[in-house]
Amino acid sequence: MHRLAVASLFVALAGCSSLLSAALKPDVQASAAAVEAGDWVLDPDHAALTFRINHMGYSDLVGRFDRFDVSLIGDGTHPEDARVSAVIEVGSLDIGNDKFRDDLLGARWFDAEDHPQAVFRTLSVTSTSETTATVNGELTLRGVTRPVALEVRLNGVAYDRLRGTDVAGFSASALIHRSDFGMDAFSGLVTDDVRIGIEAELMRKKD
C-alpha cells in the first residue's frame, strides 16, 4: 500500500510538472515586428560569446568570454533604426588551459592589462529578411578600431512569465582578421581569420 501511494505521488507530481511547463512555455514568434519598441538588456544567464581560430590545419581552437554585456535600443517595425552596443571583459577569457590563457591575455595577444575591454557599437542595420539583418559596426580591440559586420538572426520573441517581461533571442556571427587589431603572433601557423559566434537573450526593460 505504501509503495502504491508513493507511486501515485510521483505520477501526480509528473502531471503537475507537465502542466506547469505547458503554462510557462512562451508563445515564441519569429518575427521582427513582434519586437516591441524600447530598451533591451542582456540576460547574462542565457548568453554565450565564442571565437574559433584554426591551429595549423589540425583543428579549431575554441575560446569564450564569460563576462560581456549587450544592449539594444530599437523597434521591430523599423529594424534599420536599431542600435546595439556591447562591452566585453577581456580578462574573462576561458580557453580551458590556464597557462595558455595567461599567454593569450599577455601583450602579444589581447594585451588585457592595457586594454581590459573590447567594445562594439552599431553604425547601420540592413534587413536581409523578416528575421535576419546585417549589423555594420565598429569593434575596438587592443585600442584599435576596425569595421566589423555581424550577421544576425532573430530566433524568436515572446512574453516570458518566468522573467516577467518580453524576451528576444538572437544568434549572430562575424569574421574578423586578428592582424587588423595588432595580433599577428605565429602568423602562418595560426590563421588570421577568427570566427565569432554570439547567442543572446535580451529582456525588454520595464517602463
Q: What is the rounded distance in angstroms from the CA atom of residue 48 to the CA atom of residue 54?
A: 20
Question: pLDDT tens digit string along 174-202?
Answer: 999 999 999 998 888 899 999 999 999 99
- Residue closest to 117 by CA, chosen among 134, 92, 100: 92
Percent of the chain with pLDDT over 90: 76
- Right CATH for 29-204 from 2.40.128.110, 2.40.160.40, 3.40.50.300, 3.60.150.10: 2.40.128.110
Question: What share of the chain has pLDDT > 70, as a percent?
Answer: 88
This prediction has a pTM of: 0.85
Q: Which residues contact 121 (CB under 8 A, 6 or more apart)?
A: 83, 84, 85, 86, 137, 138
Query: How confident is the model at residue 29, as a pLDDT?
Result: 85
β partners of residue 70:
86
Place of cell 509503495: 3
Average pLDDT, the chain: 90
| Domain boundaries defined on the chain | 29-204
CA–CA distances in Å: residue 21 to residues 45, 157, 161, 169: 20, 18, 11, 19
Distance (Å, whole) CA 83 – CA 78: 11
Determine the pLDDT at residue 1.
47
Mean pLDDT in residue range 129-144: 96
